Amino acid sequence: MRTTAIVVLALAMLASGKARAEDVDKAACVPSTETSRELVRSFYTKALVDKQVRPAFEQYVAPDFVEHKPDIPGGNRDAVMDFLEGIVKDVPEARWEILRTVADNDLVFVHVRFVPATGAPAYALADLFRVDECKIVEHWDVVEPPREGQPNPNSRF
């Protein structure tokens, strides 16, 4: 019954011409661990795999987003958008590949292979997002650069 009401509300908003994509997303979102996982996966894919940084942030990230990466001056949403748009512009061949996700309540972990250029060695990325009311509100990361020689025979990926 709740799903039907949400769909009817979204359709009414669209029919009236007053709906924006984020309104429909918000109306259709039911917070859950799985919803958070899919939201983060969709955000990561749009922002980095598809290299649509600003549209992804506008759709999935809360305006009061908090960034914990020490390289980001200000630690806010605009600073992260600028930082990532700079990477996409400066390193156009860069590729991000989501390898696995793990979700626990409002936290979503993403393990990623990042290759800055064709033929370059891969970085291992571990991103942790916190989701609240179907918006990404916080982010931490750990970046492991490529290594020369690896005593452990098991891959990081």
Residues 124 and 48 in one domain: yes
pTM: 0.81
Is the separation of the CB atoms in 156 and 143 below 8 Å?
A: no
Residues 49 and 87 in one domain: yes
Establish if 91 belongs to a structural domain. Answer: yes
Residues 4 and 73 in one domain: no
pLDDT at position 114 over 50: yes
> Domain containing 69 — which CATH number?
3.10.450.50
3-state secondary structure of 59: helix
Establish if 59 belongs to a structural domain. Answer: yes
Q: Which of 11-20, 67-76, 98-107 has the lowest average pLDDT? A: 11-20
* Amino acid identity, position 23: D
Residues 72 and 88 in one domain: yes
- What's residue 25's pLDDT? 52
Note down the domain range covering 120. Answer: 31-144
Residues 61 and 11 in one domain: no
C-alpha 78/C-alpha 125 separation (Å) is: 21
Residues 42 and 59 in one domain: yes
Residues 68 and 140 in one domain: yes
pLDDT band at 27 (very low <50, low <70, confident <90, very high): low
pLDDT band at 149 (very low <50, low <70, confident <90, very high): confident
Q: State the average pLDDT over residues 82-93.
A: 96
Establish if 156 belongs to a structural domain. Answer: no
pLDDT at position 9 over 50: no
pLDDT band at 19 (very low <50, low <70, confident <90, very high): very low
Domains held by the chain: number: 2
